[in-house]
Structure 1
Amino acid sequence: MSAELSFEHVVYYGTREPLPIKDVVESLIGMDKIATTFLADAYSRLLGAEVLTVNALVEGLEEGSFIERFLLRLTFKDEASMDAAADKLRNLAIGAYHKLPGGGYPVIKATVVSGVIAALIATGTVYAINAAQPAGSNPSVSINLQDSPVIVIGAESYNMTPQEFMTIVESVAARDRKKLAENSVKVVAPAKREPGGSSVHIGEGTNIPAMDADIVTQAPAVFSMEPDEISESYDDVDLEIRATDRDSASRGWSGVIPHLTKTRVKLQLADAVDPHHLAGRFTVRANVIVHYRYSTAKKQYIPNLIEVLSLVEESAP
């Protein structure tokens, strides 16, 4: 039977003016998406216990310097997993305060919860900044995330080096970089509302160091990445066969559609297409679906698979 633990979590914006409702709603949606998509995996790895889901519940909103208060509810596989996580948390709580190298704000060990979120949001925002750059340009953010205060704090809270901590964070982020980037920007966006921007603290108390000013300043106000893959259907096209394998419908085949693909692309034959009807032929007419993968380097979609649905029979003269 599953078991639950709940933790308090805070996002603090050092704003001076009231925020538009739309910005607040979008930031809450962004936090919810990050929590439900990434945190179960992150906490499972860091706590050594299987977390099934994480839900973010809003406890309250406070004006002035705007504060969003959440309750993070972690659902574990069973009580044994919850007990293992609780034991790990108790062990991490030894030595309640640490300081950043060179001096700085003390960090409370409760950042075992918020520190992971801060690290993911910083990572996702940097993804968004770099993805928004024109093709061929150098990324505008040169900051080394391993030196960022939010990363150092997160690593300290788990008795890890920043490098070890970032390895786990980036592995979790790889689940869906697009979703993480889009929703991290939503969380950071309220801090960009005022001229010159404001600070964002992710964790209990305003003494938690703010996210790096360079990241907040350069984060796009709105960001949406292209889908990783798209597909287009084409009827009755010329398909040039470049490689064949009569023993398989999915391996060893490649082809070119002259007006759509410049180089050979992998072919996959639908069940209705007999490989023997294609082998030995140079060109056929076919109904196909072309699958494209987005290239961040070229800023365009590149064909990576042609799915052959059916052959078009030539009419008798």
Structure 2
Amino acid sequence: MQYQEVSQRIYYSNKEYVPVGEIARSLIAFESLVKQAPEVLEALFPDAKVIDIEVFIKELRSDSIWEDLVVKLIFGNQQRFDECIENTRQKLGIEQIMNKNPNFLSAVLVAMILAGGAYYLGKSSTSSDKEAKATIEANNNTIIKIGAGMVDMSAEEFTNIVISAIKDKEKLAENSLNVVKPAKLDPNATITFNEDPHIKISNASVRAMPEYKSKPEIAEDVIEDFHDVRLEIRAIDLDSTKRGWAVVAPSLHKRRVKLQLDPTIKPMDLKNKLSINGHITGVWGADNQGIKVPKLIFLREILD
């Protein structure tokens, strides 16, 4: 195996002390984000094959927050490493991207962080989140131009590669927001990479980044009784009171849900009916977004 080490110095311009826990979480998130970087690097340089990537702390300083890190790119063998260097040389005309230009990796990582924040905000339709997303994307356009210029690509091509290469965008968003989180403790903070004032997460972007909210754990089912509810019948099974029945209860939810009949109700009582009113018991759960949805309806009594 062959490897290449690239230094990454990250400066949070906070003026006040930051809790150790916040720094630890941001470092763990940064490591996780870096481990997503090979997807982007291999898309940018198809001849490269990064089989592993490791992040080491070289130095931490408490005046504001200086994080001096080493990113270790591990290639499959010497041949593959040489191919990566050759491919890079073909794109750049120089060999410095791996050795003497660690700012290229910085540009990639910052572009990933900002893309992760924009992706997270893009899931919301509120006007404030749309404005925040636009702020972050404006910052990212600057970073993308820097990265694209280093590999002789158009900004559009570079953007498409970075965005499409990341498979787990939800994880990217989580990592991105947690990397930025310590800076949000200071209303004026920025985050600069490798002491390059151009490769920076601006204060506006820091403030625009939301707090990451993980998908809530699926709660236990909730059982509720409802009286005189109209049910629209979507499927029936006259041979069973438990299988093959489905309804929509418009006053409760637009979702089609499984229906079970109380033993006192005869299936023939519902034959040829498009809708009924009745007393029901609903079983509620949560979907993948943590939103309360009906899972099952018991029809207890049909009302005339």
Question: Aligning the two structures, in what range does the TM-score lie when normalised by the shorter sequence?
Answer: 0.5 to 0.7
| Deviation of the 1:87 alpha carbon | 2.0
Deviation at residue 301 of structure 1 after TM alignment: 2.8
What is the alpha-carbon distance in structure 2 between the residues aligned to residue 114 and residue 254 of structure 1? 54
- What is residue 140 of structure 1 aligned with on the other side? 131
- The secondary structure found in structure 2 opposite 1:125 is helix
Q: 1:82 is matched with which residue?
A: 81
Q: Which residue of 2 aligns with 1:50?
A: 49
CA offsets, 1:96-128, max 9 Å, x none? 99xxxxxxxxxx843332211110111122334
| Aligned residue in 2 for 1:167 | 160
Q: Are 1:60 and 2:64 counterparts?
A: no
- Which residue type is aligned with residue 162 of structure 1? A
Pick the aligned partner of 1:225 from 213, 216, 219: 213
Give 1:185's match in structure 2, choosing from 170, 173, 177. 177
Letter in 2 for 1:84: E
Q: Secondary structure at the match of 1:140?
A: helix
CA, structure 1 residues 93+301, in 2 after alignment: closer, same or farther (shift >3 Å)?
A: same
Letter in 1 for 2:11: Y
**Which of the pair has more CA radius of gyration?**
2
- The amino acid across from 2:71 in the alignment is L
* Equivalent residue runs for 1:1-317 within 5 Å: 3-36=2-35, 38-48=36-46, 49-92=48-91, 94=93, 109-129=101-121, 135=126, 139-141=130-132, 142-143=134-135, 144-145=137-138, 148-173=141-166, 175-177=168-170, 179-194=171-186, 196-202=187-193, 204-220=194-210, 223-227=211-215, 242=234, 256=248, 261=253, 263=254, 265=256, 292-294=287-289, 301=291
Q: How many residues align?
A: 277
Match of 2:63, SS state, is: coil
Give the letter for the 1:214 counterpart.
A
Partner Cα separation in structure 2 for residue 148 and residue 213 of structure 1: 15
Q: Give 2:68's aligned amino acid.
A: R
Deviation, 1:307, is 9.2
Q: Report how far residue 208 of structure 1 moved.
A: 4.1
Gaps of 5+ in 2: 226-230, 237-244, 259-271, 276-282, 299-304
CA distance in 2, matches of 1:228, 1:80: 46
Structure-1-length-normalised TM-score: 0.65
Alpha-carbon contact 1:148-1:212 (below 8 Å) kept: no
TM-score by length of 2: 0.67
Output the amino acid matched with 1:213: N
Q: Distance in 2 between matches of 1:3 and 1:257?
A: 62
Read off the aligned partner of 2:45 and give its amino acid letter: L
Higher relative helix content: 2
Residues 224 and 13 of structure 1: CA distance in aligned 2, closer, same or farther (over 3 Å): closer
Q: How much does 1:45 deviate?
A: 0.9
Which amino acid in 1 is paired with 2:162?
Answer: V
Distance 2:251 2:217 in 1: 20
Distance 1:302 1:77 in 2: 48
> Structure 1 unaligned runs (5+)?
98-107, 245-252, 268-279, 283-287, 295-299, 313-317
Q: Secondary structure at the match of 1:148?
A: helix
Q: What SS does structure 1 have at the residue aligned with 2:201?
A: coil
C-alpha spacing 1:82/1:259, structure 2 compared with 1 (3 Å): farther
CA distance in 2, matches of 1:83, 1:40: 17
SS at match of 2:174: helix
Q: Could you list the per-position Cα deviations for residues 66-110 of structure 1 after superposition, in whole angstroms to 9, with x for gaps in the alignment?
A: 32111212233444433322223344553699xxxxxxxxxx843
Distance in 1 (alpha carbons) for counterparts of 2:256 and 2:78 = 50
Q: 1:174: how far off? A: 5.1
